[in-house]
Structure 1
């Protein structure tokens, strides 16, 4: 990549991340857990399940996994801190999903973008009935099991606010303007953003894991041929494929 490349990634609260991954990837089934609350059962002794059935993708320190690291090499605080320092040298912006609008304003300034460049709709979110309640005790066990991720998240959560403090003092107003612009687009494009099943255009339907209900979008009739509206509600896989096709066309590759 060119020397002036801006590298960007994102982190999420490890408790929410692990609960989501556990349901999304069906770890209860993969770890042969028959109890009704598979997440709670797993958290009572996660290392025994991993030892018996193997470590699954995103089953342990998922944030570090996505950055290319193996949990087996992140056993000490010293090693984790050293790895985080290395990541600091790579990434110009580390967004925080839990503070998404604020993160996008930071990204906007880093890339010299306009507000419309960072507008968004929330894609691939689960219906509330597919979200499992996590007790305080379970949350503590998740943090203990994903200790490296917790340290990573805490570091970049602090870093986000530190970097925001260096922006012009109007950055908070930019956050509010982004929320307003998102709402304007939603009102112009979308009839429903909590739709499921056949309500959703099949070309705009994301992956539906077994037993998990993923929200989709129903466009207003007047917005169905609007390129911006359709792209705003397109799930990540078909959207990525469209980007790839656009790049291939530039190279005249069929």
Structure 2
């Protein structure tokens, strides 16, 4: 008995000692844990039975959440939402560039017809200048059209390394996601860094509905919209949706489409709608806790200034030219008078109640966020003045450039490269053009010439159409020796924005305007080109083997 008692005492003492050691080891980590707490995913309560792939985690905001809540919230009563946020976000130190505090890990939910292409243009220009890694879908510009299915994604850029053989240079995460998608937090977390900043945008639902219906009927000619009469298609969608709407949410652009983009499961039947209503409050709560900033179309410039402050961007980073606009009167040649009655609006609001609740909530929240900012309206006024100068500068000769681009695109679109013989000619021409116009070593030139011979003998198993677009992307353009006179003329033609309390001095060149005016798909192609170049250079070095580089890139091309 005595021996057992001593054993018990010894075990007790050892246990206490181990406990004290553990406490002492954890103490230095306590402060860091508090800073990181806002960046750790938390378990979501939203698990509707109809969707096994729904979000299973949610990320807490990078801002301090205050305990007090609004007494009156225009949506989802009797729920606690993250409606109040600090004006000074806590920034996780890894989510910044080397030389400044700017945020470089960003997810932007590109909501249809809500000025999202303009925000995407801003983020792509930002990422291109800093060689950041974008989430790039393999075969299109959509990440997903359904929450449970994602397109194949290109691997992220390898990390920069002094030694290209350094395995530590590999990365398994991307920096920026800004393509169209149906939001799915669980799937996105596999692509992005844990400390990513989540941004979205919303628009007044009826205006967004009109813009989408017009855009996708007359420009993209969606089948379910195309078959409706152009004089009555708006009222047809409102008054008889069962007959005129798309058959699935993935195909529809005119029914609660913002909520669908944010990841809400919505059905058409009365039972499905009632089921969605039961879980909408929890969905909204999760969405509010995930997105650090949801911009407002109706306060777009104010939203951009708030974005600039939260991401620690410069004013130079957020100047823009409005993108992806579509002239309804010019293209459709019909009146904007759709004879919408009050009864039509009541029916529309009831049917699209999810979008109205989503919009009302985030409209209230961003107004509260703006109200907490100091000297905010002064900066917005200054930004709008700069924006006016930039847009006027970039508008010069834009019509001529646009017409030239349309003519070129039309010619290229009619090239008969679908025929094998013509495609062979095209790829050989591409090889010769690449050798003539790109910077490369003598060895790389010989490899390209040998590649041409292999193609002519039909020994190559790679898809020729992929080679046509890939080869020019592997090399930098040759630059002719600049003429000092041309440089002086270029400097004189640049727009100079003087330094102020809100910005350092910066210049806007014709090349900057070209990027701001660039159509979405063209800019996506530019992002892809840079991604390929950086991937090849970081993996193989500048004196890469063309054959090895092509083999590597075509695996995910």
Distance in 1, Cα, partners of 2:395 & 2:230: 40
Match of 1:68 in 2: 263
Distance 2:385 2:402 in 1: 30
What residue is the counterpart of 2:519 in the other structure?
235
**Who is 2:247 aligned against?**
54
Task: Note if 1:174 corresponds to 2:379.
Answer: yes
Q: Which residue of 2 aligns with 1:114?
A: 314
Q: Where do 4+ consecutive residues of structure 1 move more than 6 Å?
A: none
Q: Structure 1, unaligned stretches of length 5 or more?
A: 206-221
Does the C-alpha gap of structure 1 residues 140 and 204 become closer, same or farther in structure 2, counting only changes over 3 Å?
farther
Tell whether 2:214 aligns with 1:8: no
TM-score (norm 1): 0.79
Instruction: State the superposition RMSD in angstroms.
Output: 2.9
**1:82 equivalenced with 2:259 (yes/no):** no
CA distance in 2, matches of 1:54, 1:88: 29
| 2:389 aligned partner | 184
Which residue in 2 is equivalent to 1:214? none
SS at match of 1:71: coil
Paired residue for 1:161? 367
* 1:126 and 2:326 are equivalent in the alignment: yes
Choose which of 228, 252, 263 in structure 2 pairs with 1:33: 228
Q: Could you tell me how far apart the structure 2 residues matched to 1:133 and 1:163 are?
A: 37
Task: Please report how far the alpha carbon of residue 185 of structure 1 lies from its aligned counterpart in structure 2 after TM superposition.
Answer: 0.9
Task: Provide the rounded CA distance (Å) in 2 between the counterparts of 1:148 and 1:196.
Answer: 43
CA-to-aligned-CA distance 1:34-83 (integer Å, 9 cap, x gap): 47311112211213434xx6133323111022223331265454422211
Residues 186 and 178 of structure 1: CA distance in aligned 2, closer, same or farther (over 3 Å): same
Which has the greater radius of gyration? 2
Q: Check the 8 A contact 1:14/1:142 in 2, yes or no.
A: no
For 1:189, what is the secondary structure of its paired residue?
helix
**Secondary structure of the structure 2 residue equivalent to 1:95:** strand
Q: Partner of 1:30: helix, strand, or coil?
A: helix
Q: What are structure 2's unaligned runs of at least 5 residues? A: 1-191, 410-492, 495-508, 537-548
For residues 140 and 60 of structure 1, what CA distance do their matches in structure 2 show? 15
- How high is the TM-score relative to the length of structure 2? 0.38
Say whether residues 1:251 and 2:535 are aligned partners. yes
1:143 alignment counterpart? 349
CA apart distance, 1:201: 3.0
SS at 1:57's partner residue?
Answer: coil
Partners of 1:172 and 1:49 in 2: how far apart? Answer: 44
Q: Larger RCO: Structure 1 or Structure 2 (Cα < 8 Å, ≥ 6 residues apart)?
A: 1
- Aligned residue pair count: 233
Tell me the equivalent position of 2:406.
202
Is the contact made by 1:61 and 1:148 (CA closer than 8 Å) also made in structure 2?
yes
The superposition leaves residues 133-165 of structure 1 with CA deviations (integer Å, 9 ceiling, x where unpaired) of: 453534433322211011001111111111111
Specify which structure has the higher proportion of helix. Answer: 1
Residue 247 (structure 2) pairs with residue 24 (structure 1): no
Q: Distance in 2 between matches of 1:240 and 1:68?
A: 24
Contact 2:320 2:391 in 1 (8 A): no
1:36 partner SS: coil
SS in 1 for 2:213: helix
Shift of 1:197: 11
Cα pair 2:203 2:297 within 8 Å, conserved:
yes
Separation (CA, whole Å) in 2 of partners of 1:43 and 1:192: 42
